[in-house]
Amino acid sequence: MNGLIDVFGVAGQSNAAGRGTASAAPITVAGLAHEFRQPDVLITPALDPFHGAAHGSAWPAFLDTFTAASGRPACIVSKAIGGSALLPAASVTNGHWSPTGLLRAAASAAYSSALTHLAAAGWTPVWRGVLWHQGENDAQALRKLPTLSAQYAAALIALAGHFATSVGPGEMYVLRLGDRQGFEDGYAAVRAGQDVACAAPGLTMAYDECAQFPARGWMRDPLHYAQVGLNHMGAGAARNVATHLGLLASAEAPPRGMTIARRLRQAL
């Protein structure tokens, strides 16, 4: 293959990896939607389950919407880790994304590997940055983190800087944390920290409706999003990212019935 291809990393924890229903995710278009998996596997069309996902994720909907809106191929490199924290004090078993943890270096290596592999395969990869959805572990550690909002914001800004330095110039696109009954104060603190971080250079709020998922009935369980929520999150973030990058080739809103991929197949 050859030509430009937009590349996005994914980082965060289980809702970023995906715990939905793969059969209810959009069907993406071969040659447009790609997933890179280490060490050197490029998959197209990119379909659930993505790397790290037990079931369905937001990323088929993201790729489906982004490629149709931009008219360009795109690739996802998912390094989300279920149960991971941003702050060391919130880490339980699956590590954290701070400078003293192992996750950020592993993700950077995977993103860089994807760019190298795509270039070797004849593509011209354009690194766009990291799609970040995380904060559940940190929110539930509020008692240990009385200044959670400020700590989270500073850590997220630093993480965005790490990826920009280690992988290449690109942004961190934040998909704002949702909510959970019994932990509302902690979740609100993380969301506030994400809002502050997104006022800094290099970070952009790409999606902010996850806190409404419980009221909409879009939860699989008290912690994880159902596929309808993941699809909405992925499609909404994709359209916002394409608009932010000036790549929105279509003025059409994301479809709520037939997927863009199926519309494209009918048109081709």
Q: Do 35 and 57 form a contact (C-beta atoms < 8 A)?
A: no
pLDDT given at position 114: 96
Residues making up the chain, counted from first to last: 268
* Total count of domains within the chain: 1
CA distances from 64 to 71, 117, 247 (A): 11, 22, 14
- What residue type is 253 in one-letter code? A
Range of the domain at 64: 3-267
pLDDT given at position 54: 67
In order along its 268 residues, the chain shows pLDDT tens digits of 679 999 999 999 999 999 999 989 999 999 999 999 988 889 999 988 887 676 899 999 999 999 999 999 999 999 999 999 999 999 998 999 999 999 999 999 999 999 999 999 999 999 999 999 999 999 999 999 999 999 999 999 999 999 999 999 999 999 999 999 999 999 999 999 999 999 999 999 999 999 999 999 999 999 999 999 999 999 999 999 999 999 987 544 444 334 444 444 333 3
CATH number at residue 148: 3.40.50.1110
SS3 108: helix
pLDDT given at position 267: 35
Phi, psi at residue 231, to the nearest 5°?
-60, -45
CA distances from 164 to 160, 200, 201, 247 (A): 6, 14, 11, 21
pLDDT given at position 52: 63
Q: How much is the pTM?
A: 0.92
CA distances from 259 to 24, 231, 256 (A): 11, 10, 7
